């Protein structure tokens, strides 16, 4: 919708950067958003929050000189409204139309594309291993990654291609060399940054169990077998095979303190089992996931932190702002972790959420079976991740 050329408003429209908007939301300010994208785009992916009021009125409702009164009646005139769209063109036009009618409006720079470029680094304060551990958070899609630094070395787990430069910038800030870039599995919701980082001299690591899916670049990277360990200064990253979400799903235990579970276990849900083999293979994958959770994850000490590769709108951050939680806490809060196998499989297969947008193309790109330039890769991964099973019946009261 934003490929159109919209006329320049006759009034000056203030803009808000994505970081500024995120800061207001995080500070608890009441924010009113007018999303001018098509309804289908809005329903699939939007900016949410307890203090966010979001209204969807597509941009085409504002193209006529005389805007329908029913349209205007949907827009509050007693507070500031931030207009947004996909890339920023339609929102400036809509904001101009409203400003000419006396509304207090601004618009979001670069729209949802700009929102998707927010990438925050938060220290995991409860991590008590060697070095320092950080969690990367991408609020637009709920993607999470991890950076461990110790001595003069660093490693990133589940890096995103769109933020390759950011990892090097952070490494420079901490005065470390980025030694490893590690993937937990073949992702279905975003383009991995492991190969791009490897091209820049970082040792790329992918699970050996994922290679059989048709990875075309395995010979150029290190393949991690179950039990393999990688040293980052005095910190140890241990490979823990946890298949289920995918056949190659692998977790990494960081210095015995935090298990980076990829898409196997999240702080509010468990993995969905259907993205690799489809509905036909989902039941067997669910049984495999159950075994992995019970034997490889929940068998760790209760105080071991879990950090997944995603979080959803229903996830509650810990006091340090990270989406991490001890295994003991998750066992108490999540019914799925104390069910028997039959009940577990039945529950997670009962109500599967929509598959991630463009997941087939994303998987093929991450396998190396098709190419995408940086712009194409960024466009492919816009939208929600949907890598967890439905949260209905999974969590406790």
* Residue 395 confidence (pLDDT) above 60: no
Computed over every residue of the chain, the mean pLDDT equals: 93
Residue 85 appears among annotated catalytic residues: yes
pTM for this predicted structure: 0.93
The owner of tokens 């989406």 is: 323
Q: Average pLDDT of 336-347?
A: 96
* Residue 178 confidence (pLDDT) above 70: yes
Contacts of 135 (CB under 8 A, 6+ apart): 121, 122, 123, 124, 144, 145, 146, 307, 322, 323, 324
Question: Around Cβ 53, how many Cβ atoms within 10 Å?
Answer: 13
Q: Would you give the DSSP letter of residue 359? A: H
Joined together, the tokens standing for residue 279 give 């509905």
Confidence of residue 394 (pLDDT cuts 50, 70, 90): low
Query: Where in the chain do CATH 3.60.15.10 domains reside?
Result: 120-380
* Residue 386 confidence (pLDDT) above 70: yes
Q: What's the pLDDT tens digit per position in 223-232?
A: 999 999 999 9
* Residue 314 confidence (pLDDT) above 90: no
What is the C-alpha separation between 109 and 113, in angstroms, rounded?
9
Q: Average pLDDT of 111-135?
A: 97
Confidence of residue 365 (pLDDT cuts 50, 70, 90): very high
**pLDDT on residue 92:** 92
Dihedral of the CA atoms 58, 63, 67, 68 (nearest 10)? -50
**pLDDT on residue 354:** 83
* Residue 374 confidence (pLDDT) above 70: yes
- Which member of 33, 34, 67, 85 is catalytic? 85
Contacts of 329 (CB under 8 A, 6+ apart): none
Q: Which residues, listed in sequence order, are joined to residue 240 by a DSSP beta bridge?
A: 251
Least confident of 85-89, 376-380, 390-394: 390-394
Joined together, the tokens standing for residue 144 give 């999470």
Of residues 294, 274, 293, 276, the one with CA closest to residue 349: 274
The residue ranges of DSSP E strands in the chain, in sequence order, are 15-16, 31-35, 52-56, 81-84, 105-108, 120-123, 132-138, 143-150, 153-157, 177-182, 203-207, 222-224, 229-232, 235-241, 250-254, 258-262, 305-308, 324-326
Q: 58-76 burial string, b = 16+ CB within 10 Å, else e?
A: bbebbeeeebeeeebeebe
Q: Which residues, listed in sequence order, are joined to residue 223 by a DSSP beta bridge?
A: 206
**pLDDT on residue 2:** 46
In percent, the amount of the chain with pLDDT more than 70 equals 96
Phi, psi of 130 (to 5 degrees): -70, 145
**pLDDT on residue 396:** 47
* Residue 262 confidence (pLDDT) above 70: yes
**pLDDT on residue 393:** 45
Is 230 within 8 Å of 260 (Cβ atoms)?
Answer: no
**pLDDT on residue 10:** 72
* Residue 84 confidence (pLDDT) above 70: yes
Joined together, the tokens standing for residue 363 give 């998987």
Query: Where in the chain do CATH 3.40.250.10 domains reside?
Result: 15-115
Confidence of residue 362 (pLDDT cuts 50, 70, 90): very high
Between 322 and 63, name the one with better pLDDT.
Answer: 322
Q: Which fold has domain 15-115?
A: Oxidized Rhodanese; domain 1 (3.40.250)
Q: Which residues, listed in sequence order, are joined to residue 253 by a DSSP beta bridge?
A: 238, 259
Q: Which fold has domain 120-380?
A: Metallo-beta-lactamase; Chain A (3.60.15)
Q: Would you give the DSSP letter of residue 75? A: S
Is 101 within 8 Å of 4 (Cβ atoms)?
Answer: no
* Residue 5 confidence (pLDDT) above 80: no
Q: What's the pLDDT tens digit per position in 241-261?
A: 999 999 999 999 999 999 999
Q: What's the pLDDT tens digit per position in 32-71?
A: 999 999 999 999 899 998 999 999 999 999 998 899 999 9
């Amino acid at each position: 919708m934003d490929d159109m050329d919209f006329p320049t408003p006759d009034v000056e429209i203030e803009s808000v950067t994505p970081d500024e908007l995120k800061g207001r939301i995080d500070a608890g300010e009441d924010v009113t958003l007018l999303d001018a994208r098509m309804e289908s785009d809005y329903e699939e992916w939007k900016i949410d929050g307890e203090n966010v009021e979001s209204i969807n009125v597509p941009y085409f409702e504002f193209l006529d000189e005389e805007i329908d009164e029913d349209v205007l009646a949907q827009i509050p005139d007693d507070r500031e409204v931030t207009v947004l769209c996909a890339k920023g063109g339609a929102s400036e036009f809509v904001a101009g139309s409203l400003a000419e009618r006396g509304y207090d409006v601004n618009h979001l720079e670069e729209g949802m594309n700009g929102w998707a470029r927010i990438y925050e680094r938060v220290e995991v304060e409860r991590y008590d291993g060697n070095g320092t551990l950080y969690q990367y958070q991408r609020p637009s899609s709920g993607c999470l990654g991890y950076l461990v630094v110790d001595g003069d070395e660093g490693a990133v787990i589940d890096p995103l291609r769109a933020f390759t430069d950011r990892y090097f910038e952070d490494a420079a800030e901490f005065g470390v060399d980025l030694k490893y870039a590690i993937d937990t599995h073949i992702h279905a919701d975003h383009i991995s940054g492991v190969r791009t980082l490897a091209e820049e001299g970082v040792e790329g690591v992918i699970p050996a169990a994922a290679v059989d899916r048709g990875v075309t670049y395995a010979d150029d990277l290190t393949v991690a077998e179950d039990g393999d360990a990688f040293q980052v200064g005095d910190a140890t990253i241990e490979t823990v095979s946890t298949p289920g979400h995918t056949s190659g799903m692998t977790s990494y235990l960081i210095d015995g303190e935090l298990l980076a579970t990829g898409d196997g276990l999240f702080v509010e849900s468990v993995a969905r089992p259907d993205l690799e083999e489809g509905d036909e293979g989902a039941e067997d994958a669910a049984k495999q996931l159950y075994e992995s959770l019970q034997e490889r994850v929940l068998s760790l000490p209760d105080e071991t932190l879990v950090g997944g590769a995603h979080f959803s709108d229903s996830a509650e951050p810990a006091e340090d702002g990270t989406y991490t939680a001890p295994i003991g806490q998750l066992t108490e809060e999540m019914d799925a972790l104390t069910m028997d196998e039959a009940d577990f499989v039945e529950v997670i297969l009962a109500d599967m959420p929509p598959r991630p947008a463009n997941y087939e193309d994303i998987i093929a790109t991450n396998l190396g079976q098709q190419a995408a330039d940086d712009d194409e890769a960024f466009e492919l991964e816009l939208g929600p991740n949907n890598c967890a099973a439905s949260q209905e019946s999974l969590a406790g009261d």
